[in-house]
Copies of this chain bind each other. A is one copy, B any other.
Amino acid sequence: MAEKQRRKPGETREKLMTAALTLVGKGRHFASLGIREVTRQAGVVPTSFYRHFRNMDDLGLQLVDELGLVLRRMMREARANVLQADKLIEESVAIFISHAQANRSFFLFMAQGLAGESRAVQEGIRSEMRFFASELANDLRRLRLVDHLTDQDLDMTSDLVVRSVAFSLTDLLGVSADDDYQIEQIRKRTTRFLQLIFVGAAHWKSAG
Protein backbone atom coordinates (compact mmCIF):
# COMPACT_ATOMS: atom_id res chain seq x y z
CA MET A 1 0.00 0.00 0.00
CA ALA A 2 1.03 3.57 -0.62
CA GLU A 3 2.99 4.58 2.41
CA LYS A 4 3.36 8.10 3.63
CA GLN A 5 6.16 9.77 1.81
CA ARG A 6 7.19 13.00 3.39
CA ARG A 7 9.30 15.11 1.09
CA LYS A 8 10.36 18.70 1.05
CA PRO A 9 8.24 20.92 3.29
CA GLY A 10 5.53 22.68 1.40
CA GLU A 11 5.79 20.31 -1.51
CA THR A 12 2.22 19.08 -1.27
CA ARG A 13 1.04 22.62 -0.88
CA GLU A 14 2.77 23.52 -4.08
CA LYS A 15 1.44 20.43 -5.79
CA LEU A 16 -2.09 21.45 -4.89
CA MET A 17 -1.68 24.95 -6.22
CA THR A 18 -0.10 23.67 -9.39
CA ALA A 19 -2.89 21.14 -9.75
CA ALA A 20 -5.52 23.86 -9.56
CA LEU A 21 -3.66 25.89 -12.15
CA THR A 22 -3.31 22.85 -14.37
CA LEU A 23 -7.04 22.26 -14.32
CA VAL A 24 -7.64 25.92 -15.12
CA GLY A 25 -5.15 25.57 -17.96
CA LYS A 26 -7.17 22.65 -19.28
CA GLY A 27 -10.18 24.90 -19.70
CA ARG A 28 -11.90 24.50 -16.37
CA HIS A 29 -13.09 27.51 -14.44
CA PHE A 30 -11.60 28.00 -11.03
CA ALA A 31 -15.02 28.58 -9.49
CA SER A 32 -16.13 25.12 -10.56
CA LEU A 33 -13.17 23.26 -9.08
CA GLY A 34 -13.70 21.09 -6.04
CA ILE A 35 -11.36 19.98 -3.31
CA ARG A 36 -11.46 16.34 -4.30
CA GLU A 37 -10.84 17.20 -7.90
CA VAL A 38 -7.78 19.23 -7.10
CA THR A 39 -6.32 16.67 -4.73
CA ARG A 40 -6.92 13.95 -7.31
CA GLN A 41 -5.04 15.98 -9.92
CA ALA A 42 -2.26 16.54 -7.43
CA GLY A 43 -2.02 12.84 -6.64
CA VAL A 44 -2.78 13.40 -2.99
CA VAL A 45 -5.42 12.17 -0.63
CA PRO A 46 -8.35 14.61 -0.11
CA THR A 47 -7.66 15.14 3.56
CA SER A 48 -4.23 16.53 2.80
CA PHE A 49 -5.89 19.59 1.36
CA TYR A 50 -6.89 20.80 4.82
CA ARG A 51 -3.32 20.72 6.04
CA HIS A 52 -2.60 23.67 3.77
CA PHE A 53 -5.83 25.47 2.90
CA ARG A 54 -9.10 26.10 4.65
CA ASN A 55 -11.09 25.90 1.43
CA MET A 56 -10.82 26.64 -2.28
CA ASP A 57 -11.10 30.38 -1.74
CA ASP A 58 -8.08 30.22 0.48
CA LEU A 59 -6.14 28.43 -2.21
CA GLY A 60 -7.28 31.08 -4.67
CA LEU A 61 -5.97 33.84 -2.44
CA GLN A 62 -2.60 32.19 -2.23
CA LEU A 63 -2.57 31.87 -6.00
CA VAL A 64 -3.14 35.61 -6.22
CA ASP A 65 -0.02 36.13 -4.15
CA GLU A 66 1.97 34.02 -6.55
CA LEU A 67 0.42 35.89 -9.43
CA GLY A 68 1.87 39.03 -7.89
CA LEU A 69 5.33 37.52 -8.18
CA VAL A 70 4.79 36.69 -11.83
CA LEU A 71 3.70 40.24 -12.53
CA ARG A 72 6.72 41.67 -10.72
CA ARG A 73 9.07 39.48 -12.73
CA MET A 74 7.43 40.73 -15.87
CA MET A 75 7.85 44.35 -14.83
CA ARG A 76 11.48 43.80 -14.02
CA GLU A 77 12.14 42.26 -17.39
CA ALA A 78 10.33 45.07 -19.14
CA ARG A 79 12.37 47.68 -17.31
CA ALA A 80 15.59 45.89 -18.13
CA ASN A 81 14.89 45.32 -21.80
CA VAL A 82 13.07 48.40 -22.96
CA LEU A 83 15.93 50.68 -23.78
CA GLN A 84 14.88 52.95 -26.61
CA ALA A 85 11.98 55.18 -25.70
CA ASP A 86 10.60 55.16 -29.22
CA LYS A 87 10.09 51.41 -29.13
CA LEU A 88 8.74 51.44 -25.61
CA ILE A 89 5.22 50.36 -26.44
CA GLU A 90 6.10 47.69 -28.97
CA GLU A 91 8.65 46.07 -26.76
CA SER A 92 6.54 46.19 -23.63
CA VAL A 93 3.64 44.57 -25.42
CA ALA A 94 5.94 41.90 -26.80
CA ILE A 95 7.29 41.14 -23.35
CA PHE A 96 3.81 41.03 -21.95
CA ILE A 97 2.66 38.58 -24.59
CA SER A 98 5.59 36.29 -24.13
CA HIS A 99 5.03 36.23 -20.37
CA ALA A 100 1.36 35.59 -20.85
CA GLN A 101 2.21 32.62 -23.03
CA ALA A 102 4.80 31.29 -20.64
CA ASN A 103 2.41 31.53 -17.69
CA ARG A 104 -0.81 30.84 -19.50
CA SER A 105 -2.56 29.16 -16.62
CA PHE A 106 -1.67 31.95 -14.25
CA PHE A 107 -3.10 34.58 -16.50
CA LEU A 108 -6.16 32.48 -17.16
CA PHE A 109 -6.68 32.37 -13.44
CA MET A 110 -6.27 36.12 -13.31
CA ALA A 111 -8.79 36.74 -16.08
CA GLN A 112 -11.27 34.40 -14.41
CA GLY A 113 -10.76 35.87 -10.99
CA LEU A 114 -11.63 39.40 -12.10
CA ALA A 115 -15.25 38.34 -12.29
CA GLY A 116 -14.90 35.33 -10.07
CA GLU A 117 -16.95 33.97 -7.25
CA SER A 118 -14.73 34.94 -4.37
CA ARG A 119 -14.88 38.58 -3.50
CA ALA A 120 -11.50 38.35 -1.79
CA VAL A 121 -9.78 36.91 -4.85
CA GLN A 122 -11.43 39.53 -6.98
CA GLU A 123 -10.16 42.28 -4.74
CA GLY A 124 -6.70 40.74 -4.66
CA ILE A 125 -6.36 40.69 -8.41
CA ARG A 126 -7.70 44.21 -8.67
CA SER A 127 -5.15 45.28 -6.13
CA GLU A 128 -2.33 43.69 -8.12
CA MET A 129 -3.49 45.57 -11.17
CA ARG A 130 -3.54 48.83 -9.28
CA PHE A 131 -0.01 48.23 -8.12
CA PHE A 132 1.03 47.46 -11.66
CA ALA A 133 -0.59 50.67 -12.88
CA SER A 134 1.09 52.78 -10.22
CA GLU A 135 4.48 51.31 -11.08
CA LEU A 136 3.82 52.13 -14.70
CA ALA A 137 2.97 55.69 -13.75
CA ASN A 138 6.26 55.96 -11.89
CA ASP A 139 8.19 54.70 -14.87
CA LEU A 140 6.47 57.15 -17.17
CA ARG A 141 7.23 59.96 -14.77
CA ARG A 142 10.82 58.91 -14.64
CA LEU A 143 11.13 58.82 -18.42
CA ARG A 144 9.69 62.33 -18.55
CA LEU A 145 7.73 61.54 -21.70
CA VAL A 146 4.53 63.03 -20.43
CA ASP A 147 5.73 65.93 -18.36
CA HIS A 148 2.67 68.07 -18.90
CA LEU A 149 0.32 65.64 -17.15
CA THR A 150 -0.70 66.09 -13.55
CA ASP A 151 -0.08 63.14 -11.28
CA GLN A 152 -3.75 62.37 -11.31
CA ASP A 153 -3.99 62.36 -15.08
CA LEU A 154 -0.91 60.23 -15.30
CA ASP A 155 -2.50 57.73 -12.94
CA MET A 156 -5.61 57.67 -15.05
CA THR A 157 -3.59 57.08 -18.20
CA SER A 158 -1.65 54.23 -16.61
CA ASP A 159 -4.87 52.74 -15.36
CA LEU A 160 -6.36 52.78 -18.83
CA VAL A 161 -3.22 51.25 -20.27
CA VAL A 162 -3.24 48.41 -17.77
CA ARG A 163 -6.92 47.74 -18.35
CA SER A 164 -6.48 47.63 -22.09
CA VAL A 165 -3.60 45.23 -21.81
CA ALA A 166 -5.56 43.09 -19.37
CA PHE A 167 -8.44 42.90 -21.76
CA SER A 168 -6.11 41.90 -24.57
CA LEU A 169 -5.13 39.10 -22.27
CA THR A 170 -8.54 37.54 -22.63
CA ASP A 171 -8.16 37.72 -26.40
CA LEU A 172 -4.80 36.09 -26.15
CA LEU A 173 -5.96 33.30 -23.89
CA GLY A 174 -8.86 32.64 -26.21
CA VAL A 175 -6.65 31.56 -29.10
CA SER A 176 -4.53 28.45 -29.09
CA ALA A 177 -0.97 28.97 -27.94
CA ASP A 178 0.58 28.12 -31.30
CA ASP A 179 -1.68 30.15 -33.55
CA ASP A 180 1.06 32.58 -34.50
CA TYR A 181 -1.06 34.55 -36.91
CA GLN A 182 -3.77 35.35 -34.38
CA ILE A 183 -1.24 36.14 -31.71
CA GLU A 184 0.47 38.55 -34.05
CA GLN A 185 -2.87 40.23 -34.71
CA ILE A 186 -3.48 40.63 -31.02
CA ARG A 187 0.00 42.01 -30.54
CA LYS A 188 -0.53 44.60 -33.28
CA ARG A 189 -3.94 45.62 -32.04
CA THR A 190 -2.80 45.97 -28.44
CA THR A 191 0.14 48.05 -29.59
CA ARG A 192 -2.14 50.37 -31.52
CA PHE A 193 -4.47 50.69 -28.54
CA LEU A 194 -1.62 51.87 -26.40
CA GLN A 195 -0.33 54.21 -29.08
CA LEU A 196 -3.77 55.74 -29.34
CA ILE A 197 -3.91 56.21 -25.61
CA PHE A 198 -0.51 57.86 -25.52
CA VAL A 199 -1.42 60.18 -28.37
CA GLY A 200 -4.41 61.13 -26.27
CA ALA A 201 -2.20 61.67 -23.24
CA ALA A 202 0.20 63.82 -25.26
CA HIS A 203 -2.61 66.20 -26.20
CA TRP A 204 -4.52 65.94 -22.95
CA LYS A 205 -5.43 69.11 -21.14
CA SER A 206 -6.45 68.59 -17.58
CA ALA A 207 -9.89 69.57 -16.34
CA GLY A 208 -11.04 69.72 -19.98
Question: A138: shortest Cβ distance to chain B, in Å?
Answer: 19
List the one stretch of A37-45, A74-82, A155-163 in contact with chain B: A155-163
Q: Known: A192-B156, A193-B160, A203-B203. Contact between A115 and B117, CB under 8 A?
A: no
Number of copies: 2
Q: How far apart are the CA atoms of A115 and B202 in the complex, in Å?
A: 33
Q: How far apart are the CA atoms of A167 and B174 in the complex, in Å?
A: 17
Instruction: Find chain B residues with CB under 8 A from A197 CB.
Output: 160, 196-197, 200
Q: How far apart are the CA atoms of A157 and B197 in the complex, in Å?
A: 10
Instruction: Find chain B residues with CB under 8 A from A92 CB.
Output: none
Question: A100: shortest Cβ distance to chain B, in Å?
Answer: 13
Q: Is the CB of A200 within 8 A of B208?
A: no
Chain A's interface: helix, strand, loop or mixed, by majority?
A: helix
Give the A interface residue count (CB, 8 A). Answer: 41
Q: Known: A157-B196, A160-B164, A204-B196. Contact between A114 and B170, CB under 8 A?
A: yes
Q: How far apart are the CA atoms of A122 and B170 in the complex, in Å?
A: 10
B115, B170, B192, B200: the one contacting A199 at CB < 8 Å is B200
Q: Is the CB of B164 within 8 A of A163?
A: yes
A155-208 interface (Cβ within 8 A of B): 156-157, 159-160, 163-164, 166-167, 170, 173-174, 189, 192-193, 195-204, 208
20 A-B interface contacts by CB (under 8 A): A29-B31, A31-B32, A156-B193, A156-B196, A157-B196, A160-B164, A160-B197, A163-B164, A163-B167, A166-B167, A167-B167, A196-B197, A196-B200, A196-B201, A196-B204, A197-B197, A199-B199, A199-B200, A199-B204, A199-B208
